[in-house]
Structure formats: structure tokens, C-alpha cells
Structure 1
Amino acid sequence: MHGQTKGLAYAIFYPLLAVLGVPGNLTTIVILSRGRCSLSRCITRYLVGMAVTDLLVLIIAVILNRMSVIYLPVFFLSTTPVCSLKIALIYAARDSSVWLTVAFTFDRFVAICCQNWKTKYCTERMARMVIAAVCAVSCVKNIPWYFVYEPLYIIDGDPWFCNIKSSFYSELFWAAFDWIDRILNPCAPFLVMLLLNALTVRNILVANRARRRLRVQNTGDRQNDPEMESRRKSIVLLFTISGSFLVLWTLYVVHFFHVRFTNNSYSTGSNLNDPWFILQETGNMSQLLSCCTNTCIYAGTQTKFREEFINGLKYPLIRIRKQTQECGAIRAHGSSSGNTEREGERPSHADSYLRQKRADTSSCRSEREVIDGAEHPFAFRSNVDYFKLPRRISRRARREIESIMSSRSVSRLLGLET
């Protein structure tokens, strides 16, 4: 849809978007997939699906499309067939991300406002079906985008970059396709999410007022209600997800209406003196930025998500600290074992710790020998059982023979030798 994008703003913005967005979405997928955020499986499926589609948008649209054009303009990714395929995949991933956000909003609307449908619709199985259907329809719907583009340059007979065909603005089929595409994304999601959020919030506020009156009449308690606090967090989560989508897609919609109602065309190349080109690129950048905001939204609204994220950051430090403590115990044992045995003193804490580790290791080894001995004719024993090494032998020869024997025993245990 564009030639080589030039400018310092693009060279900074898109790498920064990739550096923040890709690890952020990967972190979101890992944390939510663990199922420790006190969310139902249905909600978790939708949020993971949204994170996966956002990650695909960042990989295809930002890394393979925008950054490749900036840093590797003469590359096979910039040839017209590959460029057309990238754009079709970008539209498919983008539509999947947007409509999964709508599906999540509708799921929360049913769970809060339609109690009769809740048990049938708000299930993990239904969430998987909806996610699969949304992704499949998005892929099929965006196939025509592959045929919209023609080469922007032809160099030595090879087509380079993508330029929209002139027939796209004149033929009725392409005009109808462009209108349908913009109506389905983002105009329809705009209206649907605004309506569903308004109805959901209205239902929550009415239920909150009734619950507050009942609590005051029955117990006279005006303190904070945990259920009310949970509902408040639900409202915040819905509004932040939907609100960020509405704000970041506004410029994209405004530019679309400008193109269609003024009979202009989409800009190609890079003309920083054209205000409509600046509007087009700002809209593209803002709608790509919407793929990075969900991680910040979850971290800002969900306490359990923040706790899991912090625990993930602390895990490497905890492992390093544990290894350091074990190494310190071993060094302390090495320095004090000689004095302890010579003077008959009481064993130190490090000595008892190492003895316990040896006892656990020997017990596990004996159990493994019994189990493996029942399944394999060659039980897992030490190398001395297989081969009696003489006492007078060089260290190098001893190491080579031991490594050979060890590999053979392991191979037998794995069933690689008979």
C-alpha cells in the first residue's frame, strides 16, 4: 500500500513498537495461559485470543511490513506478490483482533445482563468456537486484498512494492468492497461496543443501587462491599479495553471518510509535506499502537495479573539466589569439614545439608535402579559395575573410558541399543 517509508519518526516509532509490543503480548499470553489470574476459563480464552492476534499484527504489520521497508528496502519481502500477501494477512489479523474484542464485550454483556443465556453461552467451549469462527471469517473476507495492488516500480523486470490499482477507485465492485471492509472494521465494532458497554454499565449500576439499599436496610452497613468492588473493576476493564480501541482508531476512520467523500486516493510513498499523508500515517500508527495497549490495561486493572507479572520478573533472581546459597553451603562445608573431622566437633549446618542431599540422591538412584531393572535387562548402575578400571591408569584414559561406558548405559536405558 506504500513505497519506501522515510523519516526519523518511522525509524524510531516502529522499532519501539516492536520492542515493547512483542514481549508485552508474549508475557500476556504466558501469564493468562497459566490460569492464575482469578479469571474464568471463558474470559481467559478471549483475552489470550486477543493477545495472539495482536502479536500477529505486530509481527506482520510492524516487523515484516514497515520495518523491513525502512531498513531493508531491497529485499524479497518488498516484491509485489509478497507485499500483497503481507497486506492481506495484516487485514486478516487486524479484523480478528478487533472482532475478538467485540466478542469479549458481548460475552461480558451476556454474563452480566442476560442470566438466562449465561450458562449456555459463557463457556470455554463456546469461547473456542467463537474464536475459531472469527479467525476463519476474517481470513476469507480479506482474500480480495491480495488482488488490489500492482507494482509501484519495475526494476530489471521484477515488480517492487505495492500500489493500489486505479480501478480500485472507479469500479463498483472495489468501491463496495472498500465500504464493506470499513463498515465491518472499525465502524460496526465502534457502534456495537458502545451499545453493549452502555447496556452493561446501566445494568451494573441498577444492580448496585438495589444491592446497596438492601445492605443498608438489613444490616445498616455502609462500608465497602467486595461484590460492588468487583463490579466496579469489571466496568473499568470494559471501558479501558473498548475506550482505547475507540480512541486509537478514530484517525483511521476520519481518513477513510475523507478519501471516499472527497474522491481522493490513498497516499503512496512518503510525502511529509502533505497533511493528508500525515493524517493517513498517523492513523495507521495509532491503530497499530492499539495492539500494544492490552497488556498495560490488564496490568493496570487486574491485581492478580500484576502479581503474576512481578513474580515472573522475580523468578530469575530467586533462582540465582538459591544457587548462590547452595554454592556457599558447599564452600563452607569444604573449609570446615577437615577441622570438624580432626577436632571431633559437631557437624555444621552446611555438612548436614550436604548429607541430606546425598541421602536423597542415593534414595532416588536406588528407586530408579529398581524400576529400570524391572523394565530393562540393563539396570542403571555406576560405571564400575560394567567395567572394572585398574588403579594405575592415566586420568585422561579413565575419563574417556567412563564417558564411553556412561553413554552406552544411557543408550540402553533409552532403548537405543538391544
Structure 2
Amino acid sequence: MRSSLHPPAPTEALPAAAEIDTPLSISTAELVTMVAALMALNALAIDIMLPALDAIATDLGVVGGNDQQLVVVAYILGFGVPQLVWGPLSDRFGRRPVLFVSLIGYTLAGLACLATQSFEQLLMARFVHGVFASGCRVVAVAVVRDLFAGRGMARIMSLVMTIFMVVPILAPMLGQGVLLIAPWRWTFGVLVLAGFGMLAWTFLRLRETVDMDDREPLSVRATLRAYLAVVKSRVTFGYMVASGVVFGALFAFISASEQVFREVFGKGDTFVFWFAGVALALSCANFANSRLVERFGMRRLSHVALVGFIAVSLSLVAVMHFVGEELWLFFPMFAVVFALFGLIGANFNALAMEPLGKIAGTASAAYGFATTSVSGLLGGLIGRAYDGTTTPLLLGFAALGVASLIAVAVTERGRLFSSA
């Protein structure tokens, strides 16, 4: 029914057992799991090969110690800009066609990565892989905005992120397991199977969430008008900038994490478990946010968390400098940093998307671009600054937090911690 396509009012609470009226009777639980799985294709494509980076560098003759990070960076660069194309396409042709093209491309790019014979070829294949993965991400977020708004969307996205974060917990372990029985190339075989599985699931179970009458025309003028609407919305643009900056911390950690735990703390053999611990803290925080956001509001939760993110990052810099780089001190505080990060992401996303439900695909694309291309660039720069200590990473976190807080303060005209 057409009425089921329209989101509730932004302040309307979402019932825990809400059902989406579709011919396939897809439940909210299945929708959350499906959206999380679509977004997790991106995390899987990055995290499953973290244990294999050293083997990839050795096998393909990579000389520079930090150059192995380019396997991640190339993917992130491919992931960013194409979102600006996928968004308007999904507003014009609907979510399903764009999603299916993206999933087919994701699967074929995984095959190309598996068959590559040089580091340069791998980087090119990884770039293409990122291009098609970005379409999956744009559609996933747009589908949620098609159906929910405001705190309801924040709650759904928090639940999505809770499930989504299972992938960063398990993917490095899965990658390590693959390496025990097969060459590093077969980590990409897992991505091929994941892409095919999601194609089958969404084809059978996901209905179209954009009614024909609501679709936007596709032209250069219409696309520019849609992106101009994103820029003109003070809340959307402001939280998009704030997210683009602070998400750089996530990419910095992903880029440098294996080196930090292997070289600084001597835990290369157990890296996957330490990485999983950080991801678990992030997942728990997202689940807590799904329970707290209806009570305290998106702004208050995310603003408090952002201030805490800065404070704990700076505290950790001081502890590592004056006490020493000891894992028993570093890990608990670092987990707290990422738990606070978990209270930021879903709320910033919902705040940015709320004003632009009619062009959710375009808004999702712009937000995705900010939190991948901009974040990936910032995170990559911080990761490349790694010097054998945790200092560049932690100082980078604090700097990104401060810059994000400034963007939020400007957006809210100085009125932080509102319960709205």
C-alpha cells in the first residue's frame, strides 16, 4: 500500500514489533538484518583481508612498509565519489534496480581481485570493488529513510549498526581462518559468495520502497538541484561535514590497526581478537543507543559522546606518553573511545537525513560520500603518519573530534546538548 511507504513523523516512536506492510510480509527484524548485511558487505571487503595484508605485500613484491595499506585505501577511494551517482539513480529508477546492478558488480569485482597477478592490478580491482559496494550502501540507507524518520530512523540505524558490527568482529577471524587453509586470494572468494548471497536474498525479499509517483526526474539540472537542496539544508550539510570529519578516526584505525598491534604491542598473532574487542565495544554502544535515543534525543546523546570522544582520546595520549605504551592501559581506554564513537554515528546519520526524505537516495549519497571519501582521505593521512607509536593515531583522533565539534556547534548555532 502507498501509505506504508511514507515514514512516520520525525518525533514518532517506532514500535518494537512494527511490521512493514508488503506482499512478502517482511518484518522489521528482517529488514534491519538485511540492511545491516548490505552495509556489512563494505566492512567485510575491508576487514577480512586485514590479517592477509602482510602476505599480500610479500607475495606481490610490495617494498614500502606502509604501502600495504593501499589495498584498503584504493577500495575506500573507489567507494566514495560513485555514491554521488548511485543516489540520484536510485531516486529516479528505484532502489531495487540500482541495488541489483551494485551487487552483481560487487560479485564480479571480487572475482577480479581473486585472479589478479600484480599489486597494481589488485589496487585497480579493489577500486572497482569499492565503486559497486558504494551502491549497496547508498540503497541500504535510502531504504531506511524511505520508511522511517527522526528518532525512529536513529533507532533503526542503531540496530542496523549493532548487527553490522558483528562483521568487523568476525571478518578478521574469518580471514585468518582462510589463511590457515588457503592462499590469501581466497579471502576474496568469501566476498564473491557474500555478494551472490545478498543478491538472491534481496531479489526474493526486498520490495521497492519508492513509489512511481514519488520518483525524481534524472537530468543534470534535477541532480544539481537535489544536491543543492542538500547543501542548503543547514542541518543536513552541517552534520554531513561533522560526520565526514569524525569518521576519519574509523578509517585511520582500520588502516593502521594491524601495524599498531603487531609492532607496538607485539600482538600480531592475536591481532584479530584485539580488533574484534574494539568492534564489540562499538557494537554494544550502538545497541545502547537504540535504547537511549528515544528517551534522550539524537542531539544530546551524540554531542555528549563527541565531547567524551575528544576527552578520552587526549587522556590516552597523555597516558601513553607519561606511563608508557602498555597494552593493558591502551586497550580499555581505546575501547571506550570507540564506544563513544558508536553513540555518534547513527545519530549524526539520522539528523543529516531527516530533512530530505523526498530525495533520500541523493541525501544518502552525499552523506556516504562525506563519511567515506572525506573520511577515508583524513583517515588515510593519519594512518600514513604511523611512526611506530600510537601517538599519531591518538592525536589524529582528538584533532578530528575537535573539528567535528566545531562543525556541530556552527550547525546548531552554539546550542549544544539539546534534547530535540
TM-score, with structure 2 as normaliser? 0.25
Relative to the length of structure 1, the TM-score reads 0.25
Structure exhibiting the larger radius of gyration computed from Cα positions: 1
Greater RCO, CA 8 A, separation 6+? 2
